[in-house]
A and B are shown apart, each in its own frame.
Chain A
Amino acid sequence: MFYIKLFFTFFKLNLKAQMEYRINFIMSIFHILILQLGNLGLIWVVLDSFQALREWTFGEIAFLVGLRLLSHGLFTLFLPEIYWGLSNYIVRGEFDRFLLKPVNPLFLLITNGIILSGITDFSSGIVILWIATKSLGLNWTFINLLILLVVVFSGLLIELSAYLATSSVAFWVTNLQTLNFITFQFHEQYILYPVSIYGKPIQYFLTFIIPFAFINFYPSAYFLNKPSNLLFHPYFAYLTPIVALISFGVAYFIWKRGILAYQSTGS
């Protein structure tokens, strides 16, 4: 309760601070909307010319894209500090301040900033999911909407865990923005398409190492009722929440060990 109340207090203040940059925000809405719809258009073009994608319809790919954008929008809105801030704070010794308040340091880090354009990502996600729904004639039952909610939050947790783990590497070595960036590439590019089109190493990587495939690919097998496109095991369609919890457990462990190793800086 204490943390929830505090979270909204922080959120309100961050929102107010961000509103100072209103123009920026309005610009970013258009920018991202165009970018995302452009992405979708690109997929449309690629779809036809790409042998491996033949088994997938445009609507199905749009579903993958939309699902990813929902959780990614929430990540950008609420948790950008994990990706943009953390490793820099560590290397510059600014991480000190997160250890100087009697609340969980991860909580303090997360509430340190928001990026409003996350709302645009999220909204484009809804638009694209709606396009997919129309194109596929999907029927959203109440249960399925509930499951969608769980999947989106699990996706958020998976993304959080991935960047928390890669950013925490900075506790031990010099700033590895590059590592974050590589992770980001997997998240930004690779899971726009069904993971099944890639070679085995990448399939393994996106399933077992950094489980981004659980953000959209596996759960879509459930929503689209497409078991033929599953990899490894049919149950993977239902595993997203569990994978999310495990990922977070692992990432949180790395983060905790990182704090033990934190050296601050000399000045």
Chain B
Amino acid sequence: MQVIKIEDLYKTFKTYKRKKGFVGSIQTLFTKEYITVNAVDGVSFGINEGEIIGYVGPNGAGKSTTIKMLTGILYPTSGVIEVCGLIPTKDRKRNLMHIGVVFGQRTQLWWDLPLIESFELLRHIYRVPEKIYRDNIALFAELLDIDEFINTPVRLLSLGQRMRGDIAASLLHNPDILYLDEPTIGLDVVVKERIRQFIKEINIERKTTVILTTHDLSDIEALCNRIMIIDHGKVIYDGSIDEIRRRFGTESTLLIEFKEPPDQLEVDGALEIQLEGIRASIKFDRKRFTASDLISEIAGKYPVLDLTIEDISLDGIIRDVYEEGKLHESVS
């Protein structure tokens, strides 16, 4: 079942040249000088129930802007957004009842209140039944260890604690859809891993649909079955991670250790060779040569001690995709 539908979505920001001081701000009120930024520039996609989507792209690509429109903070300049059949800005409250939102950059908890009291307030606001509330708090205590700091005022929490608090808060009312905008920013590996496990668990147990933006592609590899890459407000890739690997990630590296350092290394079909003493790294394109071709060629000429094959990392692939996007742009 499709839970999110976006068609031809545009968001243009008008930034007025804001002038300083009182007189300046009065002037801005009446001048029409502004710059426009097409933050989201004709985006269309559909998302099915229970998917975990990785929404990635370079800084300023338009990820947060898309999420702000999905949550009803921003009005689209044009286009259609439907979330479970609702229009987020028009049916704001009803839409919010069945979504959860985390903006990693900025907490939505009450700054001066202990975490538990923020949860209490949310229980009232979302009218969460007592039993569900208690079960959820117990679950979050178990999976996120929030009970360690639940009585601390939010302003005193560390970044990792606060993030766990924010994620727990976003799920108190059992939302159908969870938007996570950089939920792992600035976190250590342990907390990161814990949050990933948690998201996975919630997704499996509750069929919660998750949209995740992040600059840490290991988040995406750990969680997502589908990835959308956006750049300059346009979706430039939408598909599975396997597919993107097949299409862009055909470059592999062969790492070889020789018995004795060869004077010179020549391999047919290598894209790039680096030789340092007894170690060499050889880049090749898997579409044109198989690893075993290459290995038998090398082993025939030089005495090999050890070898490993490294696939290009997802980071590398995405970087290639971004650059290709730039290429297209400069051509067009």
Question: Which A positions have Cβ atoms within 8 angstroms of B?
Answer: 5-6, 9-10, 13-14, 17, 20, 93-94, 96-97, 99-103, 112, 169, 172-176, 178-179, 260, 262-264, 266-267
Contacts and interface: CB of A to CB of B under 8 A. Distances in A.
B28 A174 contact: yes
A263 B13 contact: yes
Interface of B: 13-14, 16, 18-19, 22, 24-25, 28-29, 60, 64, 68, 71-75, 92-94, 96-97, 101, 103, 105-106, 108, 110, 112-113, 117, 120-122, 124-126, 153
B125 A6 contact: yes
Contacts of A262: 73-74
6 contacts: A13-B117, A17-B112, A96-B103, A100-B71, A103-B93, A178-B22
Nearest to A9: B124
A264 B74 contact: yes
A9 to B, nearest CB: 6
B28 A96 contact: no
Contact of B68 (A96, A169, A172): A96
Contacts of A266: 60, 64
A175 B29 CA distance: 12
Given A94-B106, A263-B74, A267-B105, A102 B121 contact: no
A260 B72 CA distance: 10
Contacts of B60: 266
A18 to B, nearest CB: 8
Nearest to B118: A13
Nearest to B30: A173
A173 B25 contact: yes
Given A17-B112, A264-B68, A266-B60, A99 B73 contact: yes
A263 B121 CA distance: 27
Contacts of B71: 99-100
Contacts of B64: 266
Nearest to B170: A100
B23 to A, nearest CB: 10
B126 A102 contact: yes
B18 A100 contact: no
Given A9-B124, A101-B96, A102-B92, 17 more contacts: A9-B120, A10-B121, A13-B117, A94-B106, A97-B106, A99-B73, A99-B92, A100-B71, A100-B108, A102-B94, A173-B28, A173-B29, A174-B18, A175-B25, A260-B75, A263-B14, A264-B74
Contacts of B122: 101
Nearest to A100: B101
A5 B106 CA distance: 28
Given A13-B117, A101-B125, A173 B73 contact: no
A176 B73 contact: no
Contacts of A14: 112
A164 to B, nearest CB: 18
B22 A176 contact: yes
A21 B106 CA distance: 25
A99 B99 CA distance: 13
A99 B89 CA distance: 10
Contacts of B112: 14, 17, 20
A176 B73 CA distance: 22
A53 to B, nearest CB: 32
A101 B108 CA distance: 10
B13 to A, nearest CB: 6
Contacts of A112: 110
Contacts of A263: 13-14, 74
A53 B106 CA distance: 54
B4 to A, nearest CB: 17
B80 to A, nearest CB: 18
A65 B122 CA distance: 40
Of the listed residues B24, B75, B153, the one surrounded by the most CB atoms of chain A closer than 10 A to its CB is B75
Contacts of A178: 22, 25
Nearest to A92: B106
A99 B72 contact: yes
B113 A17 contact: yes
A135 B93 CA distance: 53
Contacts of B101: 100
